[in-house]
Amino acid sequence: MKGLLMQQDGAAGDLPLDRRRFLVSAAVVGGGMALGIGRGGAATGAGGKPVTGPWGPDAAQGSEFSPWIEIAPDDIVTIRVPQPEIGNGAMTQAAMTVTEELECDWAKVRVAFASIQRNHIEKGVYNVGFQGFFGGHSTEPDRMAHVLQLGASARERLKAAAAARWSVPVADISVKNSVLTHAGSGRTLRYGEVATEAARIVLPAEPARKPRSEWRLIGKSSPSKLNIPDIAHGRATYGIDVKLPGMVHAALMQSPVQGGKLKSHKPEAVLKMPGVRAVIVLDPAKTRGVPAGTKQAATFGFGDCQVQSAVAVIADHYWQARTALEALPVEWDAGSGAQWTDSAKIYAAASELRGKDGARTVKKAGDVATATGKRVVEGDYGTPYCENAMMEPLNATVLVTADGAEAWVPTQDQQQAYWTVIDETGLSPEKVKVHQTFVGGGFGRRTQADDVRMAVAIAKEFPGKPVKTIWTREETFRQGRYRTPITTQYKAVLDDATGLPQMIMGDVAYVGTRPSFMLPLGFSDQPYFNSGIIPNVRLTSANLPITILNGAWRAPCYNSHAFNLETFIDECAVAAGIDPLDYRLKLLAKWDKAWSDTLRVAAEKAGWGAKLPKGEGLGIAISCWPVANMHNNGSVIATVARVSVSQQGELRVRQVDVAFDCGSVANADAVRAQVEGGTMYGLNACLNEEMTVKDGAMVEGNFDEYPMMHMADAPVLNVHFEALSGHERMAIIGEAPTGPIQPAVGNAIFAATGKRLRRTPFRTQDLSWS
């Protein structure tokens, strides 16, 4: 650690003194990054001192009760949170959880991002529960229990310190809003006044946590996200906003055909342009690898996180770098990806594999060959490549020296980013620091750290200076890690008496995804196939390997399976002559009541059953993320869409009603916001989104070619809590709504026009009727 910092001071000799002081304080404590988040006031760190960036002063400024909790003399409680803040309020939720047991004043709570380096050095102090540094899991039960316990422990140590100061029994002391009160005398002390001595106290035994029935904050209160005042005043620091002394800027161009190689370029053509410092060639052969003897712990491994063949220009200012890069003569060897001359060729090749010898059976019940019935329903359903299109373009800022590296990144997973920096530089984990910034949208795109990888690869060619690399919007779009295209051929034979399927066959083709990411969620885990209601089932999966790179796209794979399956089920209902709501209720009769409840609530609120004129329609769908074949699990979402379609085929989504069951909610308004957001995300996908391929490269580069809904397009969006079961889980909620909205809209279009849409996006299809 010391070696790294000495070296940095030596190598980056032009860094001003305050920067060096920052590094030295980091060396002394090696601790967390206090990110000051005010409640309407100026950004302040623990102890009320101003901070300079999201990583802030790297030293504890008050008394640490645990790596998670620090209390300053002025009562400010700083809570260090491992997961990022990607817009879902995970950071605020962590603060609520601590506050529940600590009984501190909410107005004095601040949140900071925990340090992954500290986690490594202190052997996993933050890595508690499922994927500790990954976004979104703030109500994961193991982590919640741990954090509640830390809060309870700190509270009891504060009480013990006050008891010692007053020489009274601990039992006579009560706490409220960061104040300790002695029952007999009425004397009081603030938390900050006894924090120093309290932090040194070791309790003989861990205190019991409150029973859940006594929670006063979790599930009872809905505070707004703590970082909103900073957002609303332009103070919140996203990755793209990082400023460091001596920083230079890089613009990046990767092989337009993924998997291609740089053939030639002429750096001399741009090196004399204003501000240009260097032209850099990026090559996967330059990756140094995790040091021998070190076991890497990257959350997702490095399979989707390799250096791509690329060139970059470094300049004093970003606009100079970008202008020079655009002027740089470059030739590429497209490689084998060029065989994919258009999207249709890809999807046709994938569809060929469905149900064939190479396909894997993922679910089998009974014998599909034995089913008999007069009504057979068949269809071919699919969703295309889509881009995450988060509003903050990809970027990262990295300083590499001969003996150390630091990265400032808007990552969705600090742990993945950390090990990627280690792998790219070959440095030992103790010499690498990652600083979590705010994240301007993730939706899965910032999980694999391929963005971090490229920025490190650039910075290591320009050592001693912090290099901020910013992808253009076009580079962000065309160098994505895309939504996996998924097509499914479904077939059902309906029972002559009941109309329900006697058998269902479903053959899926994924395009270009790694086997571990062929997620069957929303497909083979659905209760339709697991409750025993359909006696004969056979589901298979196949995959077409391809050069185009895939990744996580909000609720990976599920978001496609939900569209394919719930559109097909709707077709079965129509063929059976049964109302689509009633049909689903019959199909779910042997499963958790919560599923039926969500359907009923969404339908009732939407006015299901009303007689509508032609050109207007209601559509319904249901699904559950992350895993549907376990009882009382995940977030079940039922969505009803109401659409109108003009005779000319102009579609308008008028209203959307969503009912859900995630068990219980910790912060009702945060849950509501995620249901709204996930629904809008899926809505845009089904209406508008498709990345197309030409000669192996992605065509669409910006929002003029890849449309986004605007305010004027947004439907009335109602989120209903009446179907909540009250089960004790507080399941993650951001992904689930992305699924059912898509088939709900498609099914509504069928109800309005009689046109069945088996592919997204709907924008490109003829919806006219007469």
Partner 1 sequence: MAPVRFRVNGKPLSVDADPSTPLLWVLRDHLGMTGTKFGCGIAQCGACTVHLNGDAVRSCQVPLESIADASVTTIEALATNGGAHLQQLWAELNVPQCGYCQAGMLMAAADLLKKTPKPTDEDIDGAMTNICRCGTYPRVRAAIHRAAEKAA
What Å distances lie between residue 659 and 421, 560, 603, 627, 737, CA to CA?
Answer: 42, 20, 9, 18, 10
Q: Is the Cβ of residue 348 or residue 391 nearer to partner 1 in the bound state?
A: 391
Interface residues toward partner 1, by CB under 8 A: 40, 86-88, 222, 224-225, 227-229, 231-238, 240-241, 243, 249, 274, 317-320, 323, 389-393, 438-443, 470, 472-473, 669-670, 673, 676-681, 702-704, 708-712, 714, 716-717
**Residue 483 Cβ, how far from partner 1 at the closest point, in Å?**
14
* Phi, psi (degrees; rounded to nearest 5) at 624: -150, 130
Q: How far is the CB of 179 from partner 1 (least distance, A)?
A: 26
Distances (CA, A) of 463 to 164, 246, 403: 54, 12, 10
Q: Which is nearer to partner 1, 633 or 674 (CB)?
A: 674
Degrees (nearest 5) of the Cα angle 226, 231, 235?
110
Q: How far is the CB of 329 from partner 1 (least distance, A)?
A: 21
d(CA 729, CA 594): 13
The residue among 130 and 703 lying less far from partner 1, judged by its C-beta, is 703
Beta carbon of residue 701, minimum distance to partner 1 (angstroms, whole number): 9
Strand locations in 139-289 (E): 173-176, 179-182, 188-190, 248-254, 261-265, 276-282
Closer CB to partner 1, 226 or 494, in the complex: 226
Amino acid at 30: G
Q: How far is the CB of 709 from partner 1 (least distance, A)?
A: 8
Task: State how far the Cα of 147 lies from the Cα of 100, in Å rounded to an integer.
Answer: 10
Q: Least Å distance between CB 60 and partner 1?
A: 27
Could you tell me the smallest distance in angstroms from the CB atom of residue 223 to partner 1? 9
562-577 burial: b if 16+ Cβ within 10 Å, else e: bbbbbbbbbbbbbbbe
CB nearer to partner 1: give 236 or 334: 236
Q: Which is nearer to partner 1, 338 or 709 (CB)?
A: 709
The minimum distance between CB 676 and partner 1, in angstroms, equals 5
Q: How far apart are CA 321 and CA 150, in angstroms?
A: 48
- Contact of 575 with 377, CB cutoff 8 Å: yes
> Which of 320/530 has CB closer to partner 1?
320
Q: How far apart are CA 559 and CA 551, in angstroms?
A: 13
Closer CB to partner 1, residue 1 or residue 247?
247
Q: 327: alpha, beta or left, given left = phi > 0 and alpha = psi -120 to 50? A: alpha
Judged by beta carbon, residue 317 or residue 614, the one nearer partner 1 is: 317
11/394 with CB nearer partner 1: 394
Nearer to partner 1, 88 or 425 (CB): 88
Q: Provide, rounded to whole angstroms, the least separation between the CB of residue 751 and partner 1.
A: 24
Alpha carbons 556 and 541: distance in angstroms, whole number: 15
Query: What ranges in 283-340 are assigned the alpha helix state H?
Result: 318-327
Q: Select from 670, 638, 651 the least CA-distant residue to 737.
A: 638
Shortest Cβ 361–partner 1 spacing (Å): 37
List all residues 6 or more positions away from 301 whose beta carbon is below 8 Å from its beta carbon.
Answer: none
Non-local (6+) Cβ contacts of 146 within 8 A are: 128, 129
DSSP 533: S
Question: Strand locations in 259-386, DSSP E?
Answer: 261-265, 276-282, 310-315, 330-333, 360-365, 375-383
Q: Smallest distance, Å, CB 324 to partner 1?
A: 11
